[in-house]
Amino acid sequence: MSLEFAILGFLNYHPYTGYDLKKIFDGSVRHFWPADQSQIYRTLANLTERSLVQMEKVPQEDRPDRKVYHINDLGRNELRKWVAGPAPLDEPRSAPLIQVFFSGMLTDEEILQKFEGYAEIMRMILARYDQVPDQLGPFQQEITSPREHFFWLLTLENGLVSMRASLAWAESIIERIKSGQVPQK
Amino acid sequence: MSLEFAILGFLNYHPYTGYDLKKIFDGSVRHFWPADQSQIYRTLANLTERSLVQMEKVPQEDRPDRKVYHINDLGRNELRKWVAGPAPLDEPRSAPLIQVFFSGMLTDEEILQKFEGYAEIMRMILARYDQVPDQLGPFQQEITSPREHFFWLLTLENGLVSMRASLAWAESIIERIKSGQVPQK
DNA sequence: TTACTATATATGATTTATCCTATATATGAG
DNA sequence: CTCATATATAGGATAAATCATATATAGTAA
């Protein structure tokens, strides 16, 4: 479960609450790992039970009390072991490609519309990539090291090059459709 | 749930058993939708219960009886509606990118090894793409239409361009590491 | 006999994620 | 008052997937 390692990774920078972590995920890694609030809390509870982190309760006056989580040495060792380890098996599924696969049953007009829709979504996603650096928010405090910044940018870069390749693919298909290169029914 | 639509899509070509479908998935769409046998059977049962398909039992002598599933008009309409519909929300997660994100904690040697490992895996995946056409097997009978073939090739093309982009990304990082462009700890 | 293959059909137990709901403190706007 | 925001914490119900197990028919090889 990679969420647990992402959480450990962030706690290795600084102790955080579940609420902090949600904001940090949204600001730094959402482009390749969106984190659900429920899952964050569940994972923190699980990490605590397995003694990879410690929870410190911090009373507040005008707001609910905070539960700040601290990584410990065991957690740190597990994190390092995983980060240094082999690439996790990664077999992503793409539901849009199932649609593409069975597109032959549609009219050429419908297919053209479909690919124009895909291309539009991809452009929006690419535009979102441009905004990621502006949304770091609280995590900006942690990426002060040029080294951390470098690796974070690499994840952005990967998203960008993949999405650009997919957009070029979609645009090329749109051209092929328009120039009548799709075999007829 | 896209598996259900992939199954309906294949049944729209021809009635199949669960066992057939598993082989067909492995031969045609595994590169973007690997299908688990358990899930296939569960999904077929679900589709049957929802009256989108009908099941016909076919006795055999030297082998266990077959359960052949037929799509009906309701199933066909649902399929077409989905295929023509908007792109399903697609937020894939990449566990390897979490490793990349926290790589700064490793030594440069470890990082180099890691990226060389990623690049190797990507090359293997690209090599696998070259083999997909040879593995169509029973599904070859269905893609007789140039149109169906065209859309199937588009899914391969998408996988290829994305994976090539990611490999180029990994190789460029390897070069950057070797030429000392990674900020120090 | 075991181990492997093939043809065929499943189900169990578990995990992760989603989307909903809930609780509490506070503020502001209609 | 309701709805929205913010700070904070959760849990419920459900779905999909994984990996294991199981059943049955058959065959081959060691």
Query: Between chains, do B98 and A2 touch, taking CB under 8 Å as contact?
Result: yes
B101 chain-A contacts, CB cut-off 8 A: 6, 9, 28-29, 151-152, 154-155
Q: Report residue A87's pLDDT band, with 50, 70 and 90 as the boundaries.
A: confident
Interface of A with B in 125-154 (CB under 8 A): 145-152, 154
For residues B45-58, give the mean pLDDT: 95
Q: Which of residues 104-143 of B touch strand C (CB under 7 A)?
A: none
Cα distances (Å, whole numbers) of residue B149 to A83, A102, A172, B141: 41, 10, 17, 11
C-alpha to C-alpha distance for B103 and A153, rounded to whole angstroms: 12
Extract the runs of DSSP E, i.e. beta strands, from chain A.
53-58, 66-71
Residue A34 touches chain B, beta carbons under 8 Å: yes
CA B91 to C1' D18, whole Å: 20
Domain ranges of chain A: 2-84, 95-178
pLDDT in tens, B94-133: 999 999 999 999 999 999 999 999 999 999 989 888 776 6
pLDDT in tens, A17-43: 999 999 999 988 988 999 999 999 999
In Å, how far is B131's CA from the nearest CA of chain A? 17
Q: Report residue A137's pLDDT band, with 50, 70 and 90 as the boundaries.
A: low
Which amino acid does the sequence have at B94?
S
Give the angle B176-B179-B184 at the CA atoms, nearest 5°.
80
Q: Which strand C bases fall within 7 angstroms of a protein CB? A: 6-13, 15-20, 23-26
Which strand (E) or helix (H) includes residue A152?
Answer: helix A146-178
Query: Between chains, do A161 and B166 touch, taking CB under 8 Å as contact?
Result: yes
Q: Kindly tell me if the per-residue pLDDT of A45 is higher than 80.
A: yes
Q: Kindly tell me if the per-residue pLDDT of A138 is higher than 60.
A: no
CATH class for the domain made up of A2-84: mainly alpha
Mean pLDDT of chain B: 91
Q: Report residue B91's pLDDT band, with 50, 70 and 90 as the boundaries.
A: confident
Q: Is the C-beta of residue A60 closer than 7 Å to nucleic acid chain C?
A: no
Q: Report residue A133's pLDDT band, with 50, 70 and 90 as the boundaries.
A: low
Q: How many CA atoms lie within 13 A of B6 on its CB side?
A: 29
Residue A72 touches chain B, beta carbons under 8 Å: no
Residue B16: nearest nucleotide (C-alpha to C1'): C8
Q: Kindly tell me if the per-residue pLDDT of B144 is higher than 80.
A: no
C-alpha to C-alpha distance for A73 and A1, rounded to whole angstroms: 20
Query: Between chains, do A165 and B169 touch, taking CB under 8 Å as contact?
Result: no
Q: Is the C-beta of residue B30 closer than 7 Å to nucleic acid chain C?
A: no
Q: Which residue of B26, B77, B82, B101 to mutate against A (max A Cβ within 10 Å)?
A: B101
In Å, how far is A59's CA from the nearest CA of chain B? 31
Mean pLDDT of chain A: 91
CB burial of B135-152 (b: ≥16 within 10 Å; e: otherwise) equals ebeebeebbeeebbebbb
| C15 C1' closest Cα residue | A1
